[in-house]
Structure 1
Amino acid sequence: MVKIFALNVLYKGPNSAVWLKTAYDLTSFNFFQRSSIQEFMAFVSKTIVERTQTAARQSVKEGEYMCHVYVREDNLAGVLISDHDYPHRVSHTLITKVLDDFAARIPPSSWSTGSEESIVFPQLNAYLAKYQNPREADAMTKIQEELDETKIILHNTIEAVLQRGEKLDDLVAKSEGLSMQSKAFYKTARKTNSCCSMV
Protein backbone atom coordinates (compact mmCIF):
# COMPACT_ATOMS: atom_id res chain seq x y z
CA MET A 1 0.00 0.00 0.00
CA VAL A 2 1.36 3.42 -0.97
CA LYS A 3 1.83 5.94 1.79
CA ILE A 4 2.72 9.59 2.39
CA PHE A 5 4.30 10.09 5.82
CA ALA A 6 5.04 13.82 5.80
CA LEU A 7 4.08 16.97 3.94
CA ASN A 8 6.02 20.07 5.02
CA VAL A 9 6.21 23.73 3.97
CA LEU A 10 9.36 25.72 4.71
CA TYR A 11 10.99 28.97 3.63
CA LYS A 12 14.61 28.73 2.47
CA GLY A 13 16.29 31.71 4.12
CA PRO A 14 19.85 32.89 3.43
CA ASN A 15 21.29 30.98 6.41
CA SER A 16 18.76 28.27 7.21
CA ALA A 17 15.28 27.03 6.42
CA VAL A 18 12.32 28.35 8.45
CA TRP A 19 9.43 26.01 9.35
CA LEU A 20 6.05 27.30 8.17
CA LYS A 21 3.70 24.31 8.39
CA THR A 22 3.96 20.53 8.84
CA ALA A 23 1.64 17.55 8.55
CA TYR A 24 2.50 13.95 9.44
CA ASP A 25 0.77 10.58 9.20
CA LEU A 26 2.88 8.18 11.24
CA THR A 27 0.09 5.77 12.22
CA SER A 28 1.87 2.91 10.43
CA PHE A 29 4.81 3.15 12.88
CA ASN A 30 5.07 1.81 16.42
CA PHE A 31 3.45 4.31 18.80
CA PHE A 32 6.58 4.64 20.94
CA GLN A 33 8.80 5.42 17.94
CA ARG A 34 6.57 8.05 16.32
CA SER A 35 8.01 11.13 18.04
CA SER A 36 11.58 10.13 17.16
CA ILE A 37 10.59 9.31 13.58
CA GLN A 38 8.81 12.68 13.26
CA GLU A 39 11.87 14.52 14.59
CA PHE A 40 14.08 12.76 12.05
CA MET A 41 11.72 13.45 9.18
CA ALA A 42 11.71 17.11 10.19
CA PHE A 43 15.51 17.11 10.44
CA VAL A 44 15.87 15.53 6.99
CA SER A 45 13.28 17.89 5.47
CA LYS A 46 15.08 20.98 6.74
CA THR A 47 18.51 19.64 5.74
CA ILE A 48 17.40 18.81 2.20
CA VAL A 49 15.66 22.17 1.69
CA GLU A 50 18.83 23.98 2.81
CA ARG A 51 20.87 21.97 0.28
CA THR A 52 18.49 22.30 -2.67
CA GLN A 53 19.07 25.17 -5.06
CA THR A 54 16.37 27.76 -5.63
CA ALA A 55 14.00 26.86 -8.49
CA ALA A 56 15.02 23.18 -8.30
CA ARG A 57 13.43 19.82 -7.52
CA GLN A 58 15.06 16.74 -6.03
CA SER A 59 13.98 13.25 -5.07
CA VAL A 60 16.20 11.51 -2.56
CA LYS A 61 15.97 7.76 -2.16
CA GLU A 62 17.12 6.49 1.21
CA GLY A 63 16.35 3.02 2.45
CA GLU A 64 12.64 2.36 2.16
CA TYR A 65 11.67 6.04 1.85
CA MET A 66 11.58 8.76 -0.79
CA CYS A 67 12.03 12.40 0.12
CA HIS A 68 10.79 14.78 -2.59
CA VAL A 69 11.65 18.47 -2.36
CA TYR A 70 10.87 21.56 -4.43
CA VAL A 71 12.27 25.02 -3.71
CA ARG A 72 10.45 27.66 -5.75
CA GLU A 73 12.07 30.80 -7.18
CA ASP A 74 10.64 32.79 -4.26
CA ASN A 75 12.33 30.30 -1.84
CA LEU A 76 9.04 28.81 -0.63
CA ALA A 77 9.80 25.10 -0.28
CA GLY A 78 7.81 21.89 0.03
CA VAL A 79 8.89 18.43 1.16
CA LEU A 80 6.93 15.19 0.77
CA ILE A 81 8.22 11.98 2.38
CA SER A 82 6.65 8.77 1.10
CA ASP A 83 7.35 5.11 0.52
CA HIS A 84 8.93 4.01 -2.79
CA ASP A 85 5.59 3.00 -4.28
CA TYR A 86 4.09 6.50 -4.23
CA PRO A 87 4.52 7.91 -7.78
CA HIS A 88 7.26 10.53 -8.11
CA ARG A 89 5.36 12.65 -10.60
CA VAL A 90 2.29 12.76 -8.35
CA SER A 91 4.53 13.69 -5.39
CA HIS A 92 6.02 16.67 -7.19
CA THR A 93 2.67 17.74 -8.60
CA LEU A 94 1.19 17.64 -5.10
CA ILE A 95 4.07 19.71 -3.68
CA THR A 96 3.51 22.32 -6.41
CA LYS A 97 -0.24 22.44 -5.68
CA VAL A 98 0.35 22.77 -1.92
CA LEU A 99 2.89 25.59 -2.38
CA ASP A 100 0.62 27.44 -4.83
CA ASP A 101 -2.28 27.20 -2.38
CA PHE A 102 -0.06 28.23 0.55
CA ALA A 103 1.30 31.24 -1.37
CA ALA A 104 -2.25 32.32 -2.29
CA ARG A 105 -3.38 32.26 1.36
CA ILE A 106 -0.29 33.30 3.33
CA PRO A 107 1.39 36.61 2.39
CA PRO A 108 5.07 36.34 1.41
CA SER A 109 5.94 39.01 3.98
CA SER A 110 5.30 36.46 6.74
CA TRP A 111 7.34 33.60 5.24
CA SER A 112 10.76 34.59 6.56
CA THR A 113 9.42 35.61 9.98
CA GLY A 114 6.59 33.11 10.35
CA SER A 115 6.38 30.21 12.72
CA GLU A 116 4.34 27.06 12.65
CA GLU A 117 2.15 28.38 15.48
CA SER A 118 1.46 31.75 13.86
CA ILE A 119 0.59 30.49 10.37
CA VAL A 120 -2.91 29.11 9.83
CA PHE A 121 -3.04 26.65 6.94
CA PRO A 122 -5.28 23.68 7.86
CA GLN A 123 -5.39 22.67 4.19
CA LEU A 124 -2.02 20.90 4.61
CA ASN A 125 -3.56 18.14 6.74
CA ALA A 126 -6.41 17.86 4.22
CA TYR A 127 -3.91 17.42 1.35
CA LEU A 128 -2.02 14.77 3.34
CA ALA A 129 -5.22 12.82 3.95
CA LYS A 130 -6.77 13.23 0.49
CA TYR A 131 -3.70 12.31 -1.54
CA GLN A 132 -2.76 9.15 0.38
CA ASN A 133 -4.41 7.54 -2.63
CA PRO A 134 -2.39 8.76 -5.65
CA ARG A 135 -5.36 8.10 -7.94
CA GLU A 136 -7.00 11.14 -6.33
CA ALA A 137 -4.24 13.17 -7.91
CA ASP A 138 -4.67 11.80 -11.44
CA ALA A 139 -6.70 14.76 -12.69
CA MET A 140 -4.32 17.15 -11.01
CA THR A 141 -1.34 15.43 -12.66
CA LYS A 142 -2.90 15.62 -16.11
CA ILE A 143 -3.36 19.40 -15.95
CA GLN A 144 0.05 20.07 -14.43
CA GLU A 145 2.48 20.91 -17.22
CA GLU A 146 5.09 22.72 -15.20
CA LEU A 147 6.78 19.45 -14.25
CA ASP A 148 7.45 18.65 -17.88
CA GLU A 149 9.74 21.65 -18.01
CA THR A 150 11.46 21.03 -14.71
CA LYS A 151 14.12 18.38 -14.32
CA ILE A 152 13.85 16.35 -11.13
CA ILE A 153 17.21 15.31 -9.78
CA LEU A 154 17.17 11.83 -8.23
CA HIS A 155 19.71 10.91 -5.56
CA ASN A 156 20.18 7.41 -4.19
CA THR A 157 21.13 8.54 -0.69
CA ILE A 158 20.87 11.62 1.45
CA GLU A 159 24.67 11.73 1.56
CA ALA A 160 24.60 12.64 -2.15
CA VAL A 161 22.70 15.83 -1.24
CA LEU A 162 25.05 16.92 1.53
CA GLN A 163 27.89 19.32 0.86
CA ARG A 164 31.34 17.86 0.25
CA GLY A 165 32.86 16.60 3.47
CA GLU A 166 29.56 16.64 5.39
CA LYS A 167 28.44 13.43 7.05
CA LEU A 168 24.89 12.76 8.19
CA ASP A 169 26.13 11.24 11.46
CA ASP A 170 27.97 14.51 12.24
CA LEU A 171 24.92 16.64 11.38
CA VAL A 172 22.74 14.50 13.64
CA ALA A 173 25.27 14.73 16.50
CA LYS A 174 25.44 18.54 16.21
CA SER A 175 21.72 19.11 15.69
CA GLU A 176 19.94 21.08 18.39
CA GLY A 177 16.59 20.13 16.83
CA LEU A 178 16.90 16.48 17.83
CA SER A 179 16.37 15.20 21.37
CA MET A 180 18.85 12.81 22.99
CA GLN A 181 16.20 10.09 22.64
CA SER A 182 15.96 10.72 18.89
CA LYS A 183 19.74 10.74 18.48
CA ALA A 184 19.93 7.39 20.30
CA PHE A 185 17.07 6.08 18.14
CA TYR A 186 18.94 7.24 15.01
CA LYS A 187 22.09 5.34 16.04
CA THR A 188 20.09 2.19 16.74
CA ALA A 189 18.16 2.51 13.47
CA ARG A 190 21.40 3.08 11.55
CA LYS A 191 22.88 -0.11 13.02
CA THR A 192 19.82 -2.25 12.36
CA ASN A 193 18.92 -0.44 9.11
CA SER A 194 15.28 -0.48 10.22
CA CYS A 195 12.39 1.96 10.00
CA CYS A 196 14.45 5.14 9.98
CA SER A 197 17.14 4.20 7.50
CA MET A 198 16.25 7.34 5.56
CA VAL A 199 17.90 9.47 8.19
Structure 2
Amino acid sequence: MPILYSCVARGKNILVDHTSSNEGSFSQVASSALHNISTSSDYKTIYEADQYLFFVYVKSGVTYLCAAEKDYSRTKAYDYLLDIIEKTESYTVSQDSEFTQQQREEITKIMTNSSGKPVNTKLTKLQDDVDELQDIMIHNVEQILKRGDKLDDLMEKSDLLELQAQSFAKTTKKVHKKYWYKNARYKVILGVIIGIVVVTILVIIIVVAT
Protein backbone atom coordinates (compact mmCIF):
# COMPACT_ATOMS: atom_id res chain seq x y z
CA MET A 1 0.00 0.00 0.00
CA PRO A 2 1.24 3.56 -0.73
CA ILE A 3 1.60 6.52 1.59
CA LEU A 4 -1.98 7.56 2.38
CA TYR A 5 -1.34 11.01 3.82
CA SER A 6 1.53 13.43 4.33
CA CYS A 7 2.00 16.94 5.64
CA VAL A 8 4.57 19.58 6.56
CA ALA A 9 3.93 21.57 9.74
CA ARG A 10 5.55 24.20 11.88
CA GLY A 11 4.50 23.89 15.50
CA LYS A 12 0.79 23.05 15.56
CA ASN A 13 0.15 24.68 12.20
CA ILE A 14 -0.05 22.44 9.09
CA LEU A 15 1.59 24.40 6.28
CA VAL A 16 0.68 21.98 3.50
CA ASP A 17 -0.74 18.45 3.31
CA HIS A 18 -1.71 15.86 0.74
CA THR A 19 -3.91 12.78 0.90
CA SER A 20 -4.29 9.92 -1.54
CA SER A 21 -7.08 8.12 0.32
CA ASN A 22 -10.56 8.86 1.59
CA GLU A 23 -10.45 6.08 4.17
CA GLY A 24 -9.65 8.05 7.30
CA SER A 25 -9.66 11.57 8.77
CA PHE A 26 -5.88 11.82 8.52
CA SER A 27 -5.76 15.60 8.69
CA GLN A 28 -7.66 15.66 12.02
CA VAL A 29 -5.46 12.94 13.51
CA ALA A 30 -2.34 14.77 12.33
CA SER A 31 -3.56 18.05 13.85
CA SER A 32 -4.19 16.28 17.14
CA ALA A 33 -0.77 14.59 17.07
CA LEU A 34 1.01 17.90 16.45
CA HIS A 35 -0.07 19.09 19.91
CA ASN A 36 2.09 16.33 21.43
CA ILE A 37 5.11 16.70 19.16
CA SER A 38 8.08 18.67 20.44
CA THR A 39 10.17 20.51 17.83
CA SER A 40 12.99 21.59 20.12
CA SER A 41 15.34 18.94 18.66
CA ASP A 42 15.65 16.71 15.59
CA TYR A 43 14.23 13.20 16.00
CA LYS A 44 11.79 10.69 14.54
CA THR A 45 8.95 8.77 16.11
CA ILE A 46 5.78 6.83 15.31
CA TYR A 47 2.18 7.33 16.45
CA GLU A 48 -0.52 4.68 16.10
CA ALA A 49 -4.17 5.51 15.41
CA ASP A 50 -6.78 2.88 14.48
CA GLN A 51 -5.22 0.64 11.82
CA TYR A 52 -2.73 3.28 10.66
CA LEU A 53 0.79 4.36 11.63
CA PHE A 54 1.81 8.02 11.55
CA PHE A 55 5.54 8.43 10.90
CA VAL A 56 7.04 11.67 12.20
CA TYR A 57 10.36 13.29 11.35
CA VAL A 58 11.25 16.57 13.09
CA LYS A 59 14.08 18.57 11.54
CA SER A 60 15.11 22.19 12.21
CA GLY A 61 11.86 22.94 14.00
CA VAL A 62 9.68 21.64 11.16
CA THR A 63 7.55 18.50 11.42
CA TYR A 64 7.27 16.14 8.45
CA LEU A 65 4.55 13.51 8.84
CA CYS A 66 3.12 10.71 6.74
CA ALA A 67 0.51 8.01 7.35
CA ALA A 68 0.30 4.44 6.08
CA GLU A 69 -1.20 1.11 7.05
CA LYS A 70 0.45 -0.87 9.85
CA ASP A 71 2.15 -3.34 7.54
CA TYR A 72 3.85 -0.60 5.53
CA SER A 73 7.66 -0.61 5.66
CA ARG A 74 9.04 1.78 8.24
CA THR A 75 12.19 2.25 6.20
CA LYS A 76 10.20 3.21 3.11
CA ALA A 77 8.08 5.61 5.15
CA TYR A 78 11.12 7.43 6.52
CA ASP A 79 12.80 7.38 3.10
CA TYR A 80 9.67 9.06 1.77
CA LEU A 81 9.92 11.76 4.45
CA LEU A 82 13.65 12.22 3.86
CA ASP A 83 12.99 12.66 0.15
CA ILE A 84 10.44 15.37 0.93
CA ILE A 85 12.83 17.02 3.41
CA GLU A 86 15.65 17.14 0.85
CA LYS A 87 13.39 18.62 -1.84
CA THR A 88 11.54 21.13 0.35
CA GLU A 89 14.09 22.11 3.00
CA SER A 90 14.90 25.35 1.20
CA TYR A 91 11.23 26.32 1.51
CA THR A 92 10.89 25.47 5.19
CA VAL A 93 14.16 27.13 6.22
CA SER A 94 13.48 30.41 4.44
CA GLN A 95 9.77 30.55 5.26
CA ASP A 96 8.82 31.71 8.77
CA SER A 97 5.11 31.96 8.03
CA GLU A 98 2.73 30.02 5.80
CA PHE A 99 3.74 28.93 2.30
CA THR A 100 2.58 30.81 -0.75
CA GLN A 101 0.04 29.13 -3.02
CA GLN A 102 2.80 28.34 -5.53
CA GLN A 103 4.99 26.77 -2.85
CA ARG A 104 2.09 24.66 -1.58
CA GLU A 105 1.38 23.41 -5.09
CA GLU A 106 5.07 22.56 -5.64
CA ILE A 107 5.31 20.68 -2.32
CA THR A 108 2.05 18.84 -2.98
CA LYS A 109 3.45 17.76 -6.35
CA ILE A 110 6.61 16.50 -4.64
CA MET A 111 4.50 14.58 -2.12
CA THR A 112 2.47 13.02 -4.92
CA ASN A 113 5.46 11.97 -7.01
CA SER A 114 7.85 10.99 -4.22
CA SER A 115 8.18 7.30 -3.55
CA GLY A 116 11.23 7.38 -1.32
CA LYS A 117 14.68 6.17 -2.21
CA PRO A 118 14.97 2.70 -3.70
CA VAL A 119 15.89 0.08 -1.09
CA ASN A 120 16.83 -3.57 -1.03
CA THR A 121 13.96 -5.78 0.21
CA LYS A 122 16.10 -7.79 2.64
CA LEU A 123 17.77 -4.68 3.98
CA THR A 124 14.37 -3.03 4.31
CA LYS A 125 13.04 -5.94 6.33
CA LEU A 126 16.14 -5.93 8.54
CA GLN A 127 15.92 -2.18 9.08
CA ASP A 128 12.22 -2.49 9.90
CA ASP A 129 13.03 -5.11 12.52
CA VAL A 130 15.74 -2.87 14.01
CA ASP A 131 13.40 0.14 14.04
CA GLU A 132 10.64 -1.89 15.66
CA LEU A 133 13.04 -3.16 18.33
CA GLN A 134 14.22 0.39 18.92
CA ASP A 135 10.63 1.61 19.35
CA ILE A 136 9.95 -1.20 21.84
CA MET A 137 13.09 -0.34 23.81
CA ILE A 138 12.18 3.36 23.88
CA HIS A 139 8.67 2.48 25.05
CA ASN A 140 10.07 0.23 27.78
CA VAL A 141 12.47 2.93 28.95
CA GLU A 142 9.60 5.44 29.10
CA GLN A 143 7.54 2.99 31.18
CA ILE A 144 10.51 2.39 33.51
CA LEU A 145 10.96 6.14 33.95
CA LYS A 146 7.25 6.51 34.73
CA ARG A 147 7.48 3.69 37.27
CA GLY A 148 10.62 5.34 38.64
CA ASP A 149 8.66 8.55 39.24
CA LYS A 150 5.98 6.55 41.06
CA LEU A 151 8.64 4.78 43.14
CA ASP A 152 10.14 8.15 44.03
CA ASP A 153 6.71 9.31 45.21
CA LEU A 154 6.29 6.14 47.27
CA MET A 155 9.75 6.58 48.77
CA GLU A 156 8.94 10.17 49.73
CA LYS A 157 5.65 9.05 51.31
CA SER A 158 7.46 6.22 53.08
CA ASP A 159 10.06 8.64 54.47
CA LEU A 160 7.29 10.97 55.61
CA LEU A 161 5.46 8.12 57.34
CA GLU A 162 8.70 7.05 59.00
CA LEU A 163 9.28 10.56 60.32
CA GLN A 164 5.70 10.72 61.57
CA ALA A 165 6.12 7.32 63.24
CA GLN A 166 9.33 8.47 64.93
CA SER A 167 7.62 11.65 66.11
CA PHE A 168 4.67 9.64 67.42
CA ALA A 169 7.03 7.25 69.24
CA LYS A 170 8.85 10.16 70.90
CA THR A 171 5.55 11.75 71.93
CA THR A 172 4.33 8.41 73.32
CA LYS A 173 7.51 8.01 75.37
CA LYS A 174 7.14 11.51 76.79
CA VAL A 175 3.50 10.94 77.72
CA HIS A 176 4.33 7.53 79.22
CA LYS A 177 7.18 9.03 81.24
CA LYS A 178 5.00 11.91 82.42
CA TYR A 179 2.24 9.60 83.66
CA TRP A 180 4.79 7.22 85.20
CA TYR A 181 6.16 10.06 87.34
CA LYS A 182 2.65 11.16 88.20
CA ASN A 183 1.66 7.62 89.25
CA ALA A 184 4.88 7.27 91.26
CA ARG A 185 4.13 10.51 93.09
CA TYR A 186 0.60 9.41 93.90
CA LYS A 187 1.95 6.10 95.22
CA VAL A 188 4.46 7.91 97.45
CA ILE A 189 1.77 10.23 98.77
CA LEU A 190 -0.56 7.28 99.35
CA GLY A 191 2.26 5.41 101.15
CA VAL A 192 2.92 8.42 103.39
CA ILE A 193 -0.78 8.73 104.24
CA ILE A 194 -1.05 5.02 105.05
CA GLY A 195 2.10 5.30 107.16
CA ILE A 196 0.66 8.23 109.09
CA VAL A 197 -2.62 6.37 109.66
CA VAL A 198 -0.78 3.26 110.85
CA VAL A 199 1.42 5.30 113.22
CA THR A 200 -1.64 7.14 114.56
CA ILE A 201 -3.47 3.89 115.21
CA LEU A 202 -0.43 2.46 116.99
CA VAL A 203 -0.14 5.57 119.16
CA ILE A 204 -3.82 5.37 120.10
CA ILE A 205 -3.48 1.67 120.97
CA ILE A 206 -0.43 2.33 123.17
CA VAL A 207 -2.16 5.21 124.92
CA VAL A 208 -5.29 3.18 125.62
CA ALA A 209 -3.22 0.22 126.83
CA THR A 210 -1.34 2.33 129.34
TM-score range, shorter chain: 0.5 to 0.7
Structure number with bigger Rg: 2
Deviations 1:159-185 (A, max 9, x none): x9xxx9xxxxxxxxxxxxxxxxxxxxx
**Partner SS for 2:108:** helix
State how far apart, in whole Å, the 1-side matches of 2:113 and 2:29 are.
18
Query: Which aligned pairs between 1:17-56 and structure 2 lie closer than 5 A?
Result: 17-27=12-22, 29=23, 37-48=25-36, 50-51=37-38, 54-56=41-43
User: Deviation at 1:26?
Assistant: 1.9
Q: Tell me which residue corresponds to 1:109.
A: 94
Q: CA deviation at 1:101?
A: 0.7
Counterpart Cα distance in 1 of 2:53 and 2:72: 9
Higher percent of residues as strand:
1
3-state secondary structure, aligned to 1:4: coil
1:136-147 → structure 2 map (5 Å cutoff): 137-139=117-119
Q: Retained in 1: the 8 A contact 2:53–2:68?
A: yes
Decide whether aligned partners of structure 1 residues 107 and 66 sit closer, same or farther in structure 2, where only a CA change above 3 A counts.
closer
Which residue is 2:5 aligned to? 6
RMSD: 3.8
- Residue in 2 that maps onto 1:100: 86
Are the equivalent residues in 2 in contact too, given 1:64–1:83 (CA < 8 A)?
A: yes
Q: Once the two structures are aligned, what percentage of the paired residues are identical?
A: 11
1:120-172 per-residue CA deviation (whole Å, 9 max, x = no partner) reads 342434433553xxxx7424999xxxx9xxx78637x9xx9xxx9xxxxxxxx
CA distance in 2, matches of 1:76, 1:63: 25
Report the equivalent of 2:55.
68
Distance between the aligned counterparts of 2:9 and 2:112, measured in 1?
16
1:53 offset after TM fit, Å?
5.1
- CA 1:128/1:141 → structure 2, altered by over 3 Å: closer, same or farther? farther
Q: How has the CA–CA distance of structure 1 residues 118 and 129 changed in structure 2, closer, same or farther, with 3 Å as cutoff?
A: closer
Partner of 2:161: none
The code of the aligned residue for 2:135 comes to L
What's the counterpart of residue 189 of structure 2? none
Equivalent residues, number = 133
SS of structure 2 residue aligned to 1:114: coil
CA contact (8 A) 1:20 1:119 kept: no
2:200 matched to which residue of 1? none
Per-residue CA distance 1:35-82 (angstroms, 9 max, x = gap): xx144233234234x34652110012233110100101x112200111
Q: Is the 8 A contact 1:7 1:128 kept in 2?
A: no
Mapped pair 1:90 → 2:76? yes
Larger fraction in helix: 2
**Runs of at least 5 residues in structure 2 that lack an aligned partner in the other structure:** 147-210
Match in the other structure for 1:154: 135
Bigger RCO of structures 1 and 2 (CA < 8 A, at least 6 apart): 1
Secondary structure of the corresponding residue to residue 111 of structure 2: helix
